[in-house]
């Protein structure tokens, strides 16, 4: 009986420590134009090399419509841990962030934490720890270079 109680206690503690997940809501306000849509990528440390470059390396990704110059997205059942969000307004719906010949983005983009960076933002610039059931982030779009359509 003592072994059974220890087993049950171990399963319970494992569930408490390792089974915790949260919901992440991201709001993108004040989008200047409703062209295209918003591509949102949630990265964990494993996919961090693709941050704001390669959506296929993200942990999860979504595409959302722009309505009344704002957008929002929710990621459910995210295991507690360290993450970073990058997003961009895909104004021409080609599925990637367009860049000038010198590499700077010509479509509006943003990262969790809204940190201003010199050079391309990294995973570390936008990282945060998800450790509660409900987390809400507001990400402001930035325009580095304007495109002439």
pLDDT digits (tens, 9 = 90+) for 2-12: 665 554 544 55
What are the helix (H) ranges across the chain?
2-18, 123-126
How many residues in total does the chain contain?
149
Please list, residue by residue across 119-135, b when 16 or more beta carbons sit within 10 angstroms of its beta carbon and e when fewer do: eebbbebbbeebeeeeb
Q: Which residues pair with 61 in a beta bridge?
A: 41
Inside any domain, residue 53: yes
Inside any domain, residue 12: no
The pLDDT value given to residue 7: 46
Expressed as residue numbers, the domain containing 107 is 21-138
The domain that contains 62 carries what CATH number?
2.60.40
User: What is the mean pLDDT of the segment spanning 30-56?
Assistant: 92
Number of domains in the chain: 1
Tokens matching residue 29: 């306000």
Cβ–Cβ under 8 Å, residues 140 and 30: yes
Inside any domain, residue 8: no
Provide the pLDDT confidence category of residue 103 given band limits of 50, 70 and 90: confident
| pLDDT over threshold 80, residue 17 | no
Inside any domain, residue 63: yes
Inside any domain, residue 28: yes
36 vs 25: CA distance, rounded Å: 21
The pLDDT value given to residue 100: 86
How many of the other CB atoms lie within 10 Å of CB of 149? 6
Side-chain half-sphere of 11: how many Cα atoms within 13 Å? 5
User: Which tops the pLDDT comparison, 86 or 105?
Assistant: 86
| pLDDT over threshold 90, residue 28 | yes
Phi/psi at 15 (5° precision):
-65, -40
The pLDDT value given to residue 54: 87
116 vs 113: CA distance, rounded Å: 9
Nearest residue to 139 (alpha-carbon basis) of 112, 108, 106: 112
The pLDDT value given to residue 50: 83
Provide the pLDDT confidence category of residue 116 given band limits of 50, 70 and 90: confident
């Amino acid at each position: 009986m003592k072994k059974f109680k220890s087993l049950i206690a171990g399963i319970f503690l494992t569930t408490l420590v390792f089974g915790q997940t949260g919901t992440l809501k991201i709001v993108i306000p004040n989008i200047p134009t409703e062209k295209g849509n918003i591509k949102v990528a949630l990265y964990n440390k494993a996919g961090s090399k693709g941050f704001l470059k390669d959506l296929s390396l993200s942990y999860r990704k979504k595409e959302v419509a722009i309505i009344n110059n704002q957008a929002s997205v929710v990621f459910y059942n995210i295991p507690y841990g360290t993450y970073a969000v990058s997003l961009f307004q895909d104004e021409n719906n080609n599925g990637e962030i367009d860049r000038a010949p010198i590499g700077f983005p010509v479509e509006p983009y943003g990262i969790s934490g809204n940190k201003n960076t010199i050079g391309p933002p990294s995973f570390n610039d936008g990282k945060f720890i998800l450790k509660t059931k409900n987390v809400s982030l507001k990400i402001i779009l930035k325009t580095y270079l304007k495109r002439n359509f």
